[in-house]
Amino acid sequence: MTEIELENAHLRRQLAHLEARVAALRTPLESDELEELAQLQSRADAVAAKFGEAAPTPMRGERPDAFRVRVLRGLQRHSPTFADFDLARADAALLNVAEGEIYQAAERVASGGTEAATPLVKAEETDGAGRRITRYFGDWLAAYGPFMSGGQVCRVVRPGFKP
């Protein structure tokens, strides 16, 4: 085969793959899949609410397994065991174990703060007018935690005032 024929064959395979994905997105979900998505989102919302956030919603045509992995990826940084694990490659049994551990770790962090504060990451950019803008991303406790005390810092005493 010539190089052009090989390229055309490769493009045909890519096109067939994309057409299959579009067809899967257009296929309506079954009622049991919709129920499973609702249960997955409910559990994720319960954990995310402890962080003052909301869990992501399922995307149109997203299957329960794909949604489950996407939600867990957002929380897996809290689990020391599965922080660097590729959840997309896990089979159903391992994903069940990982899911339980990740949710437990996230709840521990949300309730007790056992996770160390992540350092702030500096990001510099230039806007349309040429000004340099510096933004910091990360845990605000990493920046302000050392300045926070656990109790009363001082007491203001004014003459004639009795608390």
pLDDT attached to residue 142? 64
- pLDDT tens, 98-138? 999 999 988 888 876 545 555 667 788 888 898 999 887 77
pLDDT attached to residue 153? 57
- Helix 31-49 crosses helix 92-112 at what angle (to 10 degrees)? 30
Does the residue 66 lie in any domain? Answer: yes
Does the residue 127 lie in any domain? Answer: no
Between 1 and 87, residue with greater pLDDT: 87
Which residues lie across from 125 on neighbouring strands? 133
If we measure between CA atoms, which residue out of 74, 39, 36 comes closest to residue 53?
Answer: 74
Distance from the Cα of residue 29 to its chain's centroid: 24
Which residues lie across from 136 on neighbouring strands? 122
CB 126 within 8 A of CB 133: yes
* Count of the separate structural domains present in the chain: 1
Does the residue 86 lie in any domain? Answer: yes
Separation between Cα atoms, residue 87 and residue 45, nearest integer Å: 20
Does the residue 25 lie in any domain? Answer: yes
Separation between Cα atoms, residue 102 and residue 105, nearest integer Å: 5
Does the residue 153 lie in any domain? Answer: no
- The sign of the torsion formed by the CA atoms of 16, 17, 22, 23 equals positive
Q: Does residue 107 sit in helix, strand or coil? A: helix
Does the residue 26 lie in any domain? Answer: yes
- pLDDT tens, 31-80? 888 899 989 999 998 888 887 788 888 888 788 888 999 999 989 988 88
Q: Does residue 136 sit in helix, strand or coil? A: strand
Residues present in the chain in total: 163
Does the residue 139 lie in any domain? Answer: no
If we measure between CA atoms, which residue out of 69, 124, 131 comes closest to residue 102?
Answer: 69
Range of the domain at 30: 3-112
Task: State the pTM of this model.
Answer: 0.57
Does the residue 154 lie in any domain? Answer: no
